[in-house]
Amino acid sequence: MKTDVLVVGAGVAGISAAIWLVDQGFALAPDPRPNFVWLEASHQLGGVLHQVHNPLTQCTPPAANGGDLAARLTGRVAELSLAPCFGTKVLEAAPVPGDPTTIRVDYAHGQVRDSLDAHFLIVATGTARRQLGLPVEQSHLGGGVARSGRAERDRFRGRRVVIVGGGDAALENALLLADVDAQVTLVHRGRSFSARRRFQDAVGVHANITLRLAAQVARVEAPETTDWIEAVVLDSGERIPADGLLVRIGVDAVVPRLPFAPGATGFLTEPLHERILAIGDCACPDFRAVPVAMGQGAAAARTAATVLGLRTR
């Protein structure tokens, strides 16, 4: 298969790129050219929006949460008769030897592996939350291992919870749970937090929050006979009795294998190739926000049309 533009990812940035490609005169393949192909590894639109449970007040109009915005975007995509090929993961991409104007992309759809050629590649593959690498993070997910302090406040009301991390997400979740009488122990490997000062000031004086700095989780005791955990053991040997665990230690970029080294952070922050453009969260190690991703999607569509000599506006 050959196409003019390939969009990889159906989070906010990928959706924006697809919508704006239509605005620039492209049609979803196999319609007549100029056309584009849209691939998404998961089975739904929205990407990490489905993990955002707080109000998105920076959107216009504001959204109640990430799921609300994902539903709106899904409706807009449907209005344009667009849909990505779900369940398709891009594995690798590189210019065709001897033809720098063509990018060959290897992908997997279920057990089937194949490739396609594109004259422009937009990478919008997003991020994934880091984990501690402990088996309990999968075996007790949705039970003693929380997905979100905000979304699961009632379930952890009055319980003992260990939160791991030192940034905004960790401290904000600690405050949300502590405010519903959860007894929170905040564990951070550093000697100081990186979160905003207002969060640091608030956790420092909250009666329901205990701090453990310069500490790391060594293991989690979690009986197979219950959904809840039993205790978190630190590298110092301290055993903290706990019903729940929430891990907020940052995110990593999720990117296919490319013929260019990512930045030192693993995010695609450096220019890749005239015909390969990374947008959205996978290209933003320091500042990730819905309006940023939307704007980058629009800019990517215009850049693709310009590079291919097909810009209509």
| Domains of the chain in sequence order | 2-128+251-307 (3.50.50.60), 131-247 (3.50.50.60)
**pLDDT value of position 263:** 62
Spatial separation of the C-alpha atoms in residues 259 and 263, rounded to whole Å: 13
Question: For residues 147 and 51, is the Cβ–Cβ distance under 8 A?
Answer: yes
Predicted local confidence at residue 1, as pLDDT: 83
* pLDDT at res. 312: 57
Q: Starting at the earlier edge strand, list the strands of the sheet with 217-221.
A: 217-221, 231-234, 239-241
Report how far residue 252's alpha carbon sits from residue 257's, in angstroms, rounded to the nearest whole number. 14
- Pull the structure tokens for residue 226: 């219950």
252 Cβ contact partners less than 8 Å away, ≥ 6 residues apart: 127, 128, 130, 266
- Cα 127-128-134 angle, rounded to 5 deg: 160
As given in the structure block, the two tokens for residue 108 are: 């997997």
DSSP annotation string for 107-168:
EEETTEEEEEEEEEEEE---EEE-----THHHHTBTTTB-S-TTTTTTTTTTSEEEEE--SH
pLDDT on residue 261: 62
- Check residue 311 and give its pLDDT: 67
Residue 9's pLDDT is: 97
Instruction: Determine how many CB atoms are found less than 10 A away from the CB of residue 249.
Output: 18
Radius of gyration (Cα) for the chain, nearest Å?
22
State the pLDDT at residue 211: 98
Q: Are strands 99-109 and 88-96 parallel, antiparallel or unpaired?
A: antiparallel
Q: What is the pLDDT, as a whole number, of residue 60?
A: 81
Q: Which residue stretches of the chain have pLDDT < 70?
A: 261-265, 311-313
Q: Give, in order, the Cα–Cα distances in Å from 65 to each of 41, 52, 104, 198.
A: 23, 6, 37, 22
| Residues, the chain | 313
Burial label for 72, CB within 10 Å (0-12, 13-18, 19+), is middle
